[in-house]
Structure 1
Amino acid sequence: MHELVAAPLGARRLVLRQGSGKALVLPAARFEELRTSAPETVPTWLADAARAQWNVDLTGRHVNEVLLLREAGPYEFSRATWELNLGCDYDCVMCYLGEKRFEGLDMNGKRKLLAVLRDAGVIWLQMTGGEPLIDPDFPEAYRLAYEMGMQLEVLSNGSRLYKDHILNLLRTYPPTRLTVSMYGSTADTYDAVTRNRGAFARFSRGLRRAIDAGLNLDLSLIVVRANAHELDDMRAWARSLGLKFREYANISPTIHGGAEPLPSQSPQFLTNREPFTGCPAGRTFFHADPFGRASICKVGRDPNIDLITEGVDGLVRLGSIAESLMLRTGGCSGCTLSGTCRVCRPMAKVFQAAKAPLQNYCQHGER
C-alpha cells in the first residue's frame, strides 16, 4: 500500500499523506521527476520532506512502492461529497433528509461511481449519508476510495464506532477527518432527539473507542429545542476530551422542501448567517447521491447528472446548472436586499417551499 499520494490541483502539484491534513507543494519540475522515475528509489529531497512533514522514513525505498501518482481530471473538480445511502439508524427530530429510505447503488455500482470520481480528479471525498457506517458496503467502498488515493472524511452519528470491524478499518486506512455529531450530554436528551433508545450509550462507547484508536476526530454539536439546555455541558464534554467542535443551530427544511424539521429550531439559537458571497458548488465541487447522480450540492439536487451512465463527461454541464440555480427568481426576484442575502438561492427555495418563517432565512423577517 502506498505511503503518499501525488496529485495535480489546478496549477499546483501536491504530495499528500492520507489521514493527514498536511501537504507538500511541489514545483512542476519535481512533480515530473516523480512521474518519470517510477522504477527508481525515492529521491533524497522527497525522503527528507516526508520525514520533516510526517515523520515517515522513505529512504532507499522504490517510488512505485510508496507513491501513488494521481492524474488530473478533465475539469477543475477536486472535492466531492457522496451519500452512500439515505438510510439511518436514528430518526432525529431535525433531520433534513425527510423520509430516510435505505436504497441506492449496489457494490458494483459503487465501484463504477468511485472510478468516475477518481477520473474526474476528486482528491478530497466526504462520505456521508444517512448514516454511512450502517451501509454493508461501507467497508469495501471506503477501502477502495482510499486505495484510489482520495483524502477521506467520514460524517457519522458515531453509533457504530464501537464495532471492532469499523475501528480496525479506520485505523488501517485512517480518514483525514472523522466528524461525529453530538445530540446531547445525557441519555434522556440524546435518545429523545434521535428518537432511538440506547443511542447515547452506543455513541458514548464509540466516541471513547475512536479517541483511543487515535483517529483524527472532531465533533458537530447539533443544537435544537430539545437539547439547548445541555449545550454548555456538550461544550464542556468536547473540551474535556480534547476535541475540536463546531456548533450547528440553524435548522433547515428537508431537501424536498418539507417543514417537518422546523419546529425543532431553538429560537434563542437562531443565528444570522454571514452574507452569501458565492461558493464552489458545481465548479470545483459537486455532490453525488446514493444513485450516483451528481448535483451542485446537497441542497440544489435538480437538475442532476447520472454519473453511472454518462461518466466524467457529464460533469461538463454542472457549471451551467450552478448558474441557473443561483438566479434570484420567484419571491426573491428584484429583492433590494439580495446583495447581502444570507442564504444561497437553492437554500432559499427549500425554505420557501416549506413556508418557513422569514426570520429563519431572510432579512425581511427581521423588519
Structure 2
Amino acid sequence: MPRLIAAPFLNDRLVLRPGSSSGLKIPPLKYAELQHLSEHGGNVPEWLSVAVQKQWALALAGPLRDVVLVRDPSPYGYVRASYEINKGCDYDCPHCFLGQKKFEGITAQQKLRLLEIMRDAGVVWLQITGGEPLIDRHFPLVYQSAQDLGMMVAISSNGSQLHKPAILDLLTRHRPYRLTLSVYGATAETYDGFTRNRGAFERFSRGLAAAQNNGLPVRLNVIVGEHNAHELEEMKALAQRHGFPHQVYTNMSPTIDGGAEPLPTQAEDYLRKRSPFAGCNAGHTFFHADPFAKVSICKVGRDPQIDLLTEGVEGLRRLGGIADSLQLRTGGCSGCQLSSTCWTCRPLAKLYQEAKAPRRTYCQHPDGR
C-alpha cells in the first residue's frame, strides 16, 4: 500500500493519505511535476515534503515513486464507485432492500480485474458493501488490492466480524477511509430480534469495542423500524458513548426488484419528509457494481446494466446516457407539473410504483394533480 496517493479528482488535483480523512489540494502544475518525477525516478520535491509534514506530521524523502503513487488521469471521469462484493449476509433483517441475499459472485481473479477497470475509469473513492462484505472470502484480497491501486476505501458493514483477529489486524494495518456500521438496537433482545440472528448484538458490541480501541474511523447508521423505534434514544446514546458520529435512517425503500416487503417494517411516527430531489452525479461521475461486475448508475437504478468484464472500461461511455434516460419522468410521473419539487428520483419512484406502494410514500402530491 502506498504511503500517499496523488490523484486527479474532477477538476482538482489531490494528495491523499490512505486511512486519513484529510488531504491536500495542489495546483495542476505541481501535479504534473509529480508525474514527471515519478516517471523518471526523481526524488520527493521539497514543497511536497514540507506540506506533508505540516498536514500529517509525516517525514517524506527519497525517490518519489517509493512513497507516493501518482495516479494517471482518466478520460472517463468516474471518481467514485460502490462495489457490492456479495449479496450474502449473516443477518436476515426484514427491512433489507436487496431482497433475496444469495452468496454468489465472480472469481478472485475477476474481482481483481474489476478493480483494475475501476482504476482505469478514474475511481479514487471506493465503497465496498454487500450484503455483508466482511464475510466474503475474497474481501481481504479485494480490500488490500484496491488500496494498492491507489483508492481510498470505505466499508459498509454490520460489524459482526470486526472482533475477529484477522479482520481487525487487516483494518488496523491498512486503515480504511471510513467504516460505516449499521445499528439495529441497543439491547440484545431488540437487536437480535431485528436481525433475526441470535447472538448478533454480542458480536456487534465486541466489534464496536474493538474498533474504538484501535481508533478505526467509524460512523454509525442508526436504522429505525417499527420493531426497534422504542430504543432510538438508547441507540443514539450508544454512539455517543463510543464517541462515534451517527446518522438516523427511518424511511425504508422497496427491494431492488420492486418488492414491497421492507415497507411494512417502517415506524410510521418516525418517517421523515425528504428534501426536494436536486439531481445527482449517478452514472456521470459515480457508478455501482454488483457481485457479477454488472455496472449500473447506482444501487437503485440497476437496469439497464453494463458488463464491465465483457466490455471493459470503454463500456462506461454508455453510462451517462443511461443515467439521463432513467431520470426522465415516465410512467406514473409523466406529465407532472411539480417535478422540480419532487423528493424522489425517478428510479426510486419506479421501485415504489412496482411495489404498489401508496402514493404518499414516494410522492408529496398524493392527490395526483
TM-score range, shorter chain: over 0.9
| SS in structure 2 of the partner of residue 46 of structure 1 | helix
Number of aligned positions between the proteins: 366
Deviations 1:45-80 (A, max 9, x none): 11111111111111x322111000111222111000
| SS in structure 1 of the partner of residue 312 of structure 2 | helix
Deviations 1:12-64 (A, max 9, x none): 21111111121111112211211122323211111111111111111x32211
| SS in structure 2 of the partner of residue 5 of structure 1 | strand
- Indicate if the aligned counterparts of 1:270 and 1:360 stay in contact, CA closer than 8 A: no
What is aligned with 1:270?
271
Deviations 1:156-193 (A, max 9, x none): 00000000000111111110000000000000000111
**Rounded Cα–Cα distance in structure 1 between residues aligned with 2:25 and 2:339:** 39
Cα distance 1:57–1:253, how it changes in 2: closer, same or farther (>3 A)?
same
Opposite residue 154 of structure 2, the aligned amino acid is E
Cα distance 1:235–1:153, how it changes in 2: closer, same or farther (>3 A)?
same
**1:10 CA drift (Å):** 2.8
| SS in structure 1 of the partner of residue 274 of structure 2 | coil
The alignment's C-alpha RMSD in Å is 1.1
Equivalent residue runs for 1:215-364 within 5 Å: 215-364=216-365
Opposite residue 55 of structure 2, the aligned amino acid is Q
**Rounded Cα–Cα distance in structure 2 between residues aligned with 1:218 and 1:47:** 31
| SS in structure 1 of the partner of residue 47 of structure 2 | helix
**Rounded Cα–Cα distance in structure 2 between residues aligned with 1:40 and 1:81:** 34
- Indicate if the aligned counterparts of 1:7 and 1:14 stay in contact, CA closer than 8 A: yes
Equivalent residue runs for 1:1-367 within 5 Å: 1-38=1-38, 39-58=41-60, 60-365=61-366
Unaligned runs of 5+ in 1: none
| SS in structure 2 of the partner of residue 83 of structure 1 | strand
TM-score (norm 1): 0.98
**Rounded Cα–Cα distance in structure 2 between residues aligned with 1:184 and 1:19:** 28
**Rounded Cα–Cα distance in structure 2 between residues aligned with 1:321 and 1:348:** 17
**Rounded Cα–Cα distance in structure 1 between residues aligned with 2:118 and 2:59:** 31
**Rounded Cα–Cα distance in structure 1 between residues aligned with 2:42 and 2:327:** 50
**Rounded Cα–Cα distance in structure 1 between residues aligned with 2:13 and 2:192:** 47
| SS in structure 1 of the partner of residue 171 of structure 2 | helix
| SS in structure 2 of the partner of residue 37 of structure 1 | helix
Opposite residue 44 of structure 1, the aligned amino acid is E
**Rounded Cα–Cα distance in structure 1 between residues aligned with 2:114 and 2:67:** 26
**1:149 CA drift (Å):** 0.7
| SS in structure 2 of the partner of residue 103 of structure 1 | coil
| SS in structure 1 of the partner of residue 208 of structure 2 | helix
Identity %: 55
**Rounded Cα–Cα distance in structure 1 between residues aligned with 2:86 and 2:6:** 30
Opposite residue 31 of structure 1, the aligned amino acid is Y
**1:366 CA drift (Å):** 7.8
**Rounded Cα–Cα distance in structure 2 between residues aligned with 1:307 and 1:298:** 16
- Indicate if the aligned counterparts of 1:337 and 1:363 stay in contact, CA closer than 8 A: no
